[in-house]
Structure 1
Amino acid sequence: MKQLLLFLLMSYSALAQKPVTTTQSFTVSGDVKIEKTISISEFIQWKEHTIGDVTITNHLGEVKGVARAMKGVLLKDVLQSVELKAESPKVFSEWYIVCRATDGYKVVYSWNEIFNSKIGESIYLVTEKEGKRGMNMTESILMISTEDYKTGRRFVKSLAFIEFRRAN
């Protein structure tokens, strides 16, 4: 009886998990002059960096896996092609960026974090993982912040939207 109950419980939890829907593009919207959709095939216009292996940890610092042999383009390079609805550069410190996956998972960065700090040099849109190019990765479009202490917190699978917002 215990085995049957355990089997049913495990089957139910497996069904409850949302499947990851891969993406081939993401939309940049919000307080921008022109909404823009960026395709993974457009990543070739930005410099590709070797990221290497990154240990993925959860909020407790427990190892959940290793993302191996990654390459990517810097998020800040991609976002520099987007023009904000800002009256002057002085107000950029009031901006934040919400990155959302197809399953609803959200990650938030400040404008300064991406464009005015060292962390901006370590936030990547992954172009290759374990020898598979972006379009062939099962979790594309991937976004990772490699210098975070707990890397899984801002490891986005199937990025679909990036929205610029201004704090009031």
Structure 2
Amino acid sequence: MQAESAVEAASHYSDSVAVEGILPGSRRFGRDALLAMAQTHSGPATIECYSGRHIRNVGRLRGVRLTALLDEAGMHALPRSRCKQLVIAVQAGDGYACLFTWHELYNTPVGQGALLLVEQDGDTLPRSAGGLQLISLHDLRLGPRQAIAVDRIVVSAWHS
């Protein structure tokens, strides 16, 4: 991890996440619930920014699929016609936001790899990485939709 990112991570830390917005069961998932839900394992992965600059390598990852969190908060209860209009913003403690659509998460391979990480290389909620992290494993470059100290997931309807 770059020195600048390590300093930023130290000032932002999250071990819980709120799922908010138009879902019928908006709620906060605490540390214990997230650790129990973290059934997806992956790795190794290379995190690089959009320009191709190397950020870091990770050997093992464990996390919760975003779709599992959204479904726990009631996504599955919404009419499909409404879901097709939804935008999901995963927000980090520093204000960075990563965006997904319902279509992407539920109808493409991206959804299988969009994870809220709780463990990296055997370190649970690593302080140096801000605790909870977002990663989108099926993106071409893993850096742009990677966030540290994730504390909110906001579901909104797209209005034209």
Asked if these proteins are the same fold (TM beyond 0.5), I'd say yes
Q: CA 1:35/1:154 → structure 2, altered by over 3 Å: closer, same or farther?
A: same
**1:96 pairs with 2:87:** yes
Q: Which has the larger radius of gyration?
A: 1
Deviates most, 133-142 or 110-119: 133-142
CA deviation after TM superposition for structure 1 residue 67, in Å: 2.3
2:66 is matched with 75
Runs of at least 4 residues off by over 3 Å: 16-20, 135-138
Partners of 2:135 and 2:145 within 8 A in 1: yes
In structure 1, what is the Cα distance between the partners aligned to 2:16 and 2:80? 28
Q: 2:157 aligns with which of 140, 154, 166?
A: 166
Unaligned runs of 5+ in 2: none
Q: 2:131 aligns with which of 132, 140, 148?
A: 140
What CA RMSD, in Å, does the superposition of the two structures yield over aligned residues? Answer: 2.4
Partners of 2:12 and 2:130 within 8 A in 1: yes
SS state of the match for residue 152, structure 1? coil
TM-score normalised according to structure 2 size: 0.84
CA deviation after TM superposition for structure 1 residue 163, in Å: 0.4
**1:63 pairs with 2:54:** yes
TM-score normalised according to structure 1 size: 0.81
Unaligned runs of 5+ in 1: 1-12
SS state of the match for residue 42, structure 1? helix
Identity %: 19
